[in-house]
Chains A and B, each alone.
Chain A
Amino acid sequence: MDNEEENTQTDDKKERKLVIPGETIVSAQDHLPGDFTRNDNGEIVATRYGLAETNGRIVKVIPISGVFEPRRGNTVIGRVMDINFSGWNIDIGGPYTAFLPLMECPRFIDRDNLAEFAKLGDVLSLKTYGIKKGSIDLTLKSRGLGRLDGGRLIQINPHKVPRVIGKEGSMISLIKNSTNTEITVGQNGYVWIKGDDAGEGKAEAAIKLIEQESASEGLTEKVEKFLGNKMKKINLEETQESTE
């Protein structure tokens, strides 16, 4: 039942235990409380649902669910919610809406017509650069950022993003190559996919599969198998498409 215990997000295989808020992890005698834990009368207690991990003397809980909490320098995908005279309000998920000032756009934009560059509902890939209490500032001044035209936007659990990307992008390039699509994954769990209809659908299904099975072993093989099977079926229908 507790296959989450085998979860290994990085290469190091540390023992991780699924805990709930209020659950005692260890005695505080020779441990110190880290992220999402507290010391309650000599016991280290989790304050969030997630995987408890001991690193030296520090005990912390790695969250597995919850909304996106932006940090400086995150690459995110957002949707234009509102336009005002000095920039765009962008929904990037999470507790607060973010703001993209006109000044943070790398090319010339007519001040009187911001919608020319990005109108309501447009999807952008952005970077967070300023996080203050209750306000997030975004920028487009970096490589690979800008408006994303066409395609589809899906949302996944932001804590599963590292799994979707894989080690040095291995998982995401596997999906891209075998479905012949362009994919951009935001740290906020928004994923933008562009390709032909069949490819987009398949890539979306593959990403949903990774999200669901993120804790299981041999994830890459599963995804390969899934993509392989799907590819064959589609090839029968559309004979000319080549996979590799």
Chain B
Amino acid sequence: MTYTKRTDGRKFDELRPIRAEVGIIPNADGSALFAHGDTLAIAAVYGPKPLHPQHLQKPDRGIIRANYNMLPFSVTERARPGPSRRSKEISMITENALSSIVDLTRFPGTVIDVEIMILQANASTRCAGINAAAMALAHAGVVMKEMVASVSIGKIDDKICTDITKEEEDHHEGEGATDIPFTLTSRGNMVSHLQLDGKIPAKRLIEAYEAAVAACKKINKYQERALKGEKINENE
């Protein structure tokens, strides 16, 4: 059976309902919430602040230290709290995705802490995390070249789908499922992060990139509106 209709009835290029908001954590320098449907992430930014231990300091620039954390109650089967192989990987790719847009040369020897927490998970948690983190960084008054937006594009059977859910990720019929999280910059549509889990022909990857460009444009609009004071909770 081919994948002709998405499990939740969305169009193939349609995002899940989006929630976005800034300033949700009063003690942080900047904070934000971002949700793709049931996937809900919050992010808090602290700093730039002095970095200890000293040997981690870079004399020519500051560093970003991201910490992605999936809370125990975020998934159906309780997730064991604390760092895991997976969360360390996602922390690292988040750091890399954000480092390319943040001006780190302003405060050498300092750190910007980005804490990301996944309160509820239904696939593409890293994308929700990066979207929230980018908003929180902007909200914290960090100097940035531009924004980033992140979305996971999937090839489910032979269809390119935007913002895939757990159910789609687990699709096994036909060609199976391929999950490609993209993070793109807001002005140049430059790829600041890309992962690929599965198989996809080069031609289809370009298609996936194009779907990501369209989706990230929409996400950017949501981020912008949220930063300008709106509390967003709506369908596309």
A residues at B contact (CB < 8 Å)? 1-4, 18, 20-23, 36, 38, 40, 45, 47-50, 63-67, 94-97, 133-134, 159
Contacts and interface: CB of A to CB of B under 8 A. Distances in A.
A20 B228 contact: yes
A159 B30 CA distance: 14
Contacts of B204: none
Contacts, number: 84
Contacts of A45: 146, 187
Interface stretch (B135-143, B166-174, B205-213): B135-143
A106 to B, nearest CB: 28
A63 B77 CA distance: 44
Say whether chain A's binding surface is mostly helix, strand, loop, or mixed: loop
A50 B107 contact: no
Contacts of B108: 133-134
Contacts of B145: 21-22, 38, 47
Interface string B20-64: 000000000110000000000000000111100000000000100
Nearest to A22: B146
Given A4-B228, A40-B187, A45-B187, 16 more contacts: A1-B229, A18-B229, A21-B138, A21-B143, A21-B146, A21-B147, A38-B145, A47-B144, A48-B141, A65-B30, A67-B49, A94-B49, A95-B62, A96-B107, A97-B50, A133-B108
B138 to A, nearest CB: 5
B103 interface: yes
Interface string B83-117: 00000000000000000010100011110000000
Nearest to A159: B141
B230 interface: yes
Nearest to A36: B143
B227 interface: yes
18 contacts: A1-B229, A18-B227, A20-B138, A20-B227, A21-B101, A21-B144, A21-B146, A22-B186, A36-B143, A50-B141, A67-B29, A67-B141, A94-B48, A95-B49, A95-B50, A96-B50, A134-B108, A159-B141
Contact of B140 (A1, A4, A38, A66): A66
Contact of A67 (B48, B187, B224): B48
Contact of A1 (B49, B103, B146, B230): B230
Contact of B139 (A2, A3, A49, A134): A49
Contacts of B138: 20-21, 49
Contacts of A1: 228-230
A1 B141 CA distance: 20
B147 A66 contact: no
Given A23-B224, A66-B29, A95-B107, A48 B50 contact: no
Contacts of B186: 22
B141 A95 contact: no
Contact of B47 (A21, A22, A48, A95): A95
Contact of A48 (B110, B143, B223, B230): B143
A96 B110 contact: yes
